[in-house]
Amino acid sequence: MTTYILIAVALLLITVYLSWTAGRLDRLHARIDTARAALDAQLLRRASIAQELATAGILDPAASMLLYQAAHAARQAEEEQREVAESELSQALRAVFAEKAQLEAVREAPGGADSATELGAAVRRVPMARRFHNDSVRAARALRRHRTVRLFRLAGHAPFPLAFEMDDGPPGLLVDRA
Amino acid sequence: MRIGIVCPYSWDVPGGVQFHIRDLAEHLIGLQHEVSVLVPSDEETPLPPYAVSAGRAVPVPYNGSVARLTFGFLSAARVRRWVHDGDFDVLHLHEPTTPSLSLLTCWAAQGPIVATFHTSNPRSRAMIAAYPILQPALEKISARIAVSEYARRTLVEHLGGDAVVIPNGVDVDFFADAVPKAEWQGGTIGFIGRIDEPRKGLPVLMKALPRILEAVPGTRLLIAGRGDEAEAVAGMPAEVRDQVEFLGMISDEDKARLLRSVDLYVAPNTGGESFGIILVEAMSSGAAVLASDLDAFAQVLDAGDAGQLFDTENPDALADAAVELLCDPARLAALRAKGSSHVRRFDWSTVGADILSVYETVTDGSATVAPDERTGLRARFGLARD
């Protein structure tokens, strides 16, 4: 009799543990979704400000075209090309704002000071959002690699989470606080 | 924005984390945000209006020293009530890997949670043992902040994942606008810190002092901080002892005035620092800084660009560097100028904006903070009735 009770208790404990782990995994997936939404929002914000500046006629034509092309590509990119397109926008921004004169030109234009501040905030927040996203991806992957999770298929049909890898280095002048 | 900040350590014990939280809360309130700080404290301790007491902290030996920590069912219940009543947009926990209020809050809450890691302690045994319990709680943190690149590296090594680096803040103008005190000026070296805490490095400075006095006679050493003064100068020749002046514990205003008055500020710390706020304060006051080359210090001083570094725990290296600096007014002036411009990045206006960016990033499209409702047994088996 005691054996049966023990077996029943053990089964109950195992079930509770599995259910708890599934709940944990579910929460991690939700965290990835929110982090990804935040990252998307920041990337879009950056691309829009870049496009605004490119079409405002403040920068020289070559810089404007370069920036417009990169911002446009980043906004239109398919999911598979997204990382590459966003990296190229980072490179374009770095190239265009490598000289202090360009940044000064933007700041002096009417309403340009606000745009410069917004761009500065956007290029700082993209790496932040990306770090938070990849951190949540790492946590979910660590749990999903767990033997129990794989054996009991606790992750269900949720796709295996992928980190967002891109070059998010901001233009030095825009983040220099000294 | 409604922001809930959790302080793991008692308000009545002064410490870097507590000061950081106080300044952060006041900075955010100044920007019209609603801030509530949950903190362990005795009934008698006067708390600022924005702070809420979570009960008394119990002194227990933990990790080699006596820590005042909060745990138990009563505290957990208070945490849940605070989270529920606060209806916060974001929670900001500090030091969530110590067994304290921050960890309890991590357990009890869900929603956007930001955590700042202040110390860079090597991984403790307790943490390894508690890892399976700790991990599910730490997984809830949506954004991690490390106070220095050094703190971030230890965090990544021990817990995995990543963090953004946002330094501790200082009210630069408070220090820059302080009025120098004449009696503390003229060939003076400053030291601020606990006298009896060997990791603050006063013994190293004391060993270097005779050589400094030999090369630059008349130099005075001003020491501010509590501890046994007689023991600090024990065994020193009388003429050296005469050049040492103890100021005891000093107020924030006097600290600023002292830093503003001295020719050279020396930070001979031997370890245990993850940031080095005192260096930032010294640079804010326009003092030239000479510090040991700890990872954290080297980073704050821009790898020796904004202040001179010397070989840690080496009194001879300290003496050589100090003498060189004191005999070279041009170099001192250059360090002052460099430090004053470098320190702007540590001003609360910059640091606060970065912390707010983190809040905004994690709250974007996310629900507000709520108590984490434990799923009942019935629900686990799909038997719960709505």
Q: pLDDT tens digit string along B201-211? A: 899 999 999 99
> CB–CB of A38 and B362 under 8 A?
yes
Q: Name the strand (E) or helix (H) holding B378.
A: helix B377-380
Q: What is the pLDDT of residue B187?
A: 87
- Chain B residue set in contact with A, beta carbons under 8 Å: 110, 112, 136, 139-140, 142-144, 160-164, 341-342, 344-345, 350, 354, 357-358, 360-362, 364-366, 375, 377, 380-381
Beta strands, E only, B263-302: 264-267, 288-292
In this predicted structure, the answer to whether residue B386 has a pLDDT above a threshold of 70 is no
Distance CA A42, CA A103 (A): 21
Q: What percentage of chain B has pLDDT greater than the value 70?
A: 92
Domain with CATH 3.40.50.2000 in chain B: 2-169+348-379, 172-345
Q: Is the CATH number of domain B172-345 3.40.50.300? A: no
Nearest Cα residue in chain B from A43: B361
Q: How confident is the model at residue B377 (pLDDT cuts 50, 70, 90)?
A: low
The angle subtended at Cα B169 by Cα B163 and Cα B171, nearest 5°, is 170
Q: Which one of B139, B160, B162 has the shortest CB-CB distance to A24?
A: B139
Closest Cβ–Cβ partner in B139, B350, B357 for A121: B357
pLDDT at B309 over 90: yes
Question: What is the average pLDDT across B228-244?
Answer: 85
Mutating which of A20, A31, A43, A141 best tests the B interface, going by the most B Cβ atoms within 10 A? A31
Contact A139 B142 (CB under 8 A): no
- If you average pLDDT over every residue of chain A, what do you get? 89
- Taking CB atoms and an 8 Å cutoff, what residues of chain A touch B381? 15
Q: At B282, is the pLDDT very low, low, confident or very high (cuts 50, 70, 90)?
A: very high
**Could you say which of A20, A121, A132 has the minimum Cβ distance to residue B143?**
A132
Contacts of B140 in chain A (CB under 8 A): 27, 31
Ordered DSSP codes for B308-362: EEE-TT-HHHHHHHHHHHHT-HHHHHHHHHHHHHHGGGGBHHHHHHHHHHHHHHH
What does the DSSP 8-state code read for residue B375? P
DSSP result, B20-51: HHHHHHHHHHHTT-EEEEEE---SSS---TTE
pTM for the full predicted model? 0.86
Distance from CA of B340 to the nearest CA of A (A): 9
Residue among B37, B36, B47 at smallest CA distance from B12: B47
Identify which of B139, B164, B350 has the shortest CB distance to residue A131.
Answer: B164
Mean pLDDT, all residues of chain B: 86
Higher pLDDT, B386 or B271: B271
In this structure, are strands B113-117 and B143-146 parallel, antiparallel, or unpaired?
Answer: parallel
Q: Which carries the bigger pLDDT value, residue B323 or residue B10?
A: B323
Tell whether A68 is within 8 A of chain B (Cβ).
Answer: no
Whether A97 and A170 have beta carbons less than 8 Å apart is answered as no
Per-residue pLDDT of A85-143, as tens digits, reads: 999 999 999 999 988 888 888 888 888 888 888 999 999 999 999 999 999 999 999 88
* Mean pLDDT of the region B58-64: 69
Q: What angle do CA B361, B367, B371 make, to 5 degrees?
A: 115
CATH code, residues B2-169+348-379: 3.40.50.2000
Is residue B216's pLDDT more than 80?
yes
From CA B358, how far away is CA A125, in angstroms rounded?
8
- The answer to whether residues B175 and B254 touch, using CB atoms and an 8 Å cutoff, is no
Does A34 sit within 8 Å of B365, measured CB to CB?
yes
A131 touches B: beta carbon within 8 Å:
yes
Is A45 near chain B, with CB under 8 Å? no
Mean pLDDT of A33-60: 91
**Confidence check: pLDDT of A178 > 50:** no
In angstroms, rounded to a whole number, what is the distance separating the alpha carbons of residues B305 and B298? Answer: 9
Q: Which of residues 47-66 of A touch B (CB under 8 A)?
A: none
Question: Are B358 and A19 within 8 A, CB to CB?
Answer: no
Q: pLDDT tens, B13-58?
A: 777 888 899 999 999 999 999 999 999 887 788 889 999 988 877 7
Q: What is the pLDDT of residue B120?
A: 62
Written in H, E and C, the secondary structure of A127-145 is HHHHHHHHHHHHHHHHHHC
Instruction: Return the percentage of chain B with pLDDT > 90, whole number.
Output: 44
CA–CA min distance B348, chain A (Å): 12
Across the interface, of B162, B341, B381, the residue whose CB is closest to A131 is: B162
Closest CA to A161 of A136, A128, A132: A136
Residue-wise pLDDT for B284-302, tens only, equals 999 999 999 988 899 889 8
Place of tokens 């984390």: B17
How is the beta sheet containing B244-248 ordered, strand by strand? B244-248, B220-224, B188-192, B264-267, B288-292, B308-310
Of A124, A131, A139, the CB nearest to B139: A139
Helix (H, G, I), strand (E, B) or coil at B247: strand
CB distance from A143 to chain B under 8 Å? Answer: yes
Mutation test of the interface with chain B: which of A12, A119, A131, A165, choosing the one with the most B Cβ atoms within 10 A?
Answer: A131
Residues B243/B219, Cβ–Cβ less than 8 Å: yes
Q: Return the pLDDT at A74.
A: 93
CB–CB of A41 and B377 under 8 A? no
Instruction: Look at residue B143 in the predicted model and tell me its pLDDT.
Output: 93
For residue B283, pLDDT over 50 is answered with yes
Is residue B354 within 8 Å of residue A124, measured between CB atoms? yes
* Confidence band, pLDDT 50/70/90 cuts, at residue B102: confident
> Could you tell me the pLDDT band of residue B380, with boundaries at 50, 70 and 90?
low
A-chain residues within 8 Å CB-CB of B112? 34
Partner-chain contact B164 A27, CB within 8 Å: no
Residues of chain A contacting residue B134, judged by C-beta atoms under 8 Å apart: none
Output the pLDDT for position A174.
79
Q: Which of B246, B244, B249, B289 is nearest to B265 (CA)?
A: B289
Q: Is A72 on the interface with B (CB under 8 A)?
A: no
